[in-house]
Structures are given as structure tokens and as C-alpha cells.
Structure 1
Amino acid sequence: MNSEMQLPDEQPALRMLPMPRDLNAAGDIFGGWVMAQVDVAGSIAAMRRTRCRVVTVAVNTFVFLQPISTQYLVSFYSRVARVGNTSITVDVEVYAETGYENTRVLKVAEAQLTYVAVAEDGSKKAIAAQ
């Protein structure tokens, strides 16, 4: 189990409140739900950097650090790790927080995904230097 921590200083790419439909039989949030939101958060960072459509080509790593229960606000922080000619790699960290007066913050997952910049016709597109 992770010890409690603070949220990162930057704004999250995505912040979600899981609903009861997102629970598995044990009462925890489905891992697939978390994975889908990680992909969305990663693609936001990739689209902001490339200024075009991107598609996911690889989930390089994905680690669940602990389960997420209901009533947790889940925040997804994404940062560009590498930019290639047509691909971009993004790191995503997932934090869950609960409580009102005594807030608990836990890092619950981390992942690295690779996206490819895509032109309107669906072909790979070169990523402009910044």
C-alpha cells in the first residue's frame, strides 16, 4: 500500500468521479475503467503537443498500485515524456482522493503510452518541433 501524499502542483488532464456502474463485484473501480481514462488523459497531453489527431499505438507500461473504492475523486496527470518524428510518449499518474475535512490522497496507478500523430487522411503525420 502507498502512503498518503499530496496531489501534484499542476492541473490534471482529467478529473473523474467514478459512478456505481464503474464498480466490479468486489466494490472496487474496474481496472478497465481506469485504463480507459488513462488513455483519454494521455491523448489530451499528446494532442496539445502535436496540435493534431493522435491514435494510441502502445501501452508501454501500466501498473495498478492499489484498488480504488467508490466516493474517491480520481485525477489523471499526464506529461509528455518523449517526442519523435511521428510518435509521442506520455506518462500518466493517477491519484485518488477522498474525504472532506480529512482528505486522503493516494497514488493508485501509473502508465506510459505511445501515440502517433495522424493526418486527416489517416496517414502518419510529422510532429512539428517546438
Structure 2
Amino acid sequence: MTDQQDIHTCLPDAQPIMRIMPMPADANAQGAIFGGWMMMQVDIAGSIEAQRCAQGAVTTVAVNAFQFHQPVHVGDLVSFYVERLRVGKTSITVKVEVFAQRHPDLVNVVKVTEAMLTYVAVDVSGNARELPQLVG
């Protein structure tokens, strides 16, 4: 986590790829959401963009970076934003930024997590396949 206790910010102008509100079963004994839960949600968010790019199935091949900046709590509205960083012959690398709205009525937004992941397009047998040529 960062040295600052509260990084106030605004949500990005783009539409989030997904939003979710964690529940009590997702929290540890200290009341913060499990890091593993957050990692799973980040992987899901990143894979949505990778699947769009691949026009089909993908598999996660690397978590290139993962940083937790602030804890997430039960009741936070968590928004995931994805940016495509690199498209190779078979792989897609994305950046996922995660923001929590702590008190939606007060619009207190903090950046809680960011990660960079790489996915590979796969065929029905699970073998790497070339990405389709994207137009535009």
C-alpha cells in the first residue's frame, strides 16, 4: 500500500469494464477485502478486454505487475477500467486500474489497485492461436 492513507481522486471519464460491490464473505478478519478476491476480479476485468481483442477465448499467462494502494471494504462500489497496452501475434497486455467509491452518496473515490496482465488467445484445444487482424 502507499504511504498516503487516502488518495482522493475522480473516476476516469471512460466507462468501466465492470463494477462490483464486495460482500462480507469477501472480507478478512480485519474487515478488508481479501487480496485474492481483488486479484480474481482484476483478472476477470482484464480478460474481458483481451477476449474482445482476440475475438474468442484467452488464458492468463502473466501477471506482470500488481499493486495494492488502499484496502477495499464491504459496501465499497468497485469499478474496473482497462486499457490495452500491447497486442502481439498471439498475446494481449492490458492495464487494469481499480477505484473504490467509499461512500457513494459523498462521492469519495480512491484508487485502490492497479495491475498489468498478459493474455494469450487460445483455440478449442487450449493451444495458442494468432490474433485476428483488427480493423480500426
TM-score calculated relative to the size of structure 2: 0.92
User: What residue number does 2:122 align with?
Assistant: 118
Quick one: which of 26, 29, 45 aligns to 1:41?
45
> What number of residue pairs does the alignment pair up?
130
User: Which is worse superposed, 64-73 or 31-40?
Assistant: 64-73
* Residues in 2 aligned to 1:94 and 1:101: alpha-carbon distance in whole angstroms: 19
User: Which is worse superposed, 97-106 or 12-21?
Assistant: 97-106
1:29 aligns with 2:7: no
Quick one: which of 56, 64, 87 aligns to 1:52?
56
Identity %: 52
Runs of 4+ in 1 over 3 A off after TM superposition: none
SS at match of 2:9: coil
CA RMSD of aligned residues (A): 1.0
Q: 1:41 to 1:100 in 2, by over 3 A?
A: closer
* Residues in 1 aligned to 2:7 and 2:115: alpha-carbon distance in whole angstroms: 19
Q: 1:94 to 1:127 in 2, by over 3 A?
A: same
SS at match of 2:11: coil
SS at match of 2:29: coil
SS at match of 1:126: coil
Paired amino acid for 1:86 = T
* Residues in 2 aligned to 1:102 and 1:121: alpha-carbon distance in whole angstroms: 49
Asked whether the equivalents of residues 80 and 97 of structure 2 are also in contact (C-alpha less than 8 Å), the reply is yes
* Residues in 2 aligned to 1:53 and 1:33: alpha-carbon distance in whole angstroms: 22
Asked whether the equivalents of residues 58 and 119 of structure 2 are also in contact (C-alpha less than 8 Å), the reply is yes
* Residues in 2 aligned to 1:60 and 1:99: alpha-carbon distance in whole angstroms: 31
* Residues in 1 aligned to 2:71 and 2:125: alpha-carbon distance in whole angstroms: 40
Quick one: which of 2, 8, 11 aligns to 1:4?
8
Report the Cα offset of residue 121 of structure 1: 2.1
1:68 aligns with 2:72: yes
Give structure 1 stretches of 5+ with no counterpart.
none
Report the Cα offset of residue 40 of structure 1: 0.1
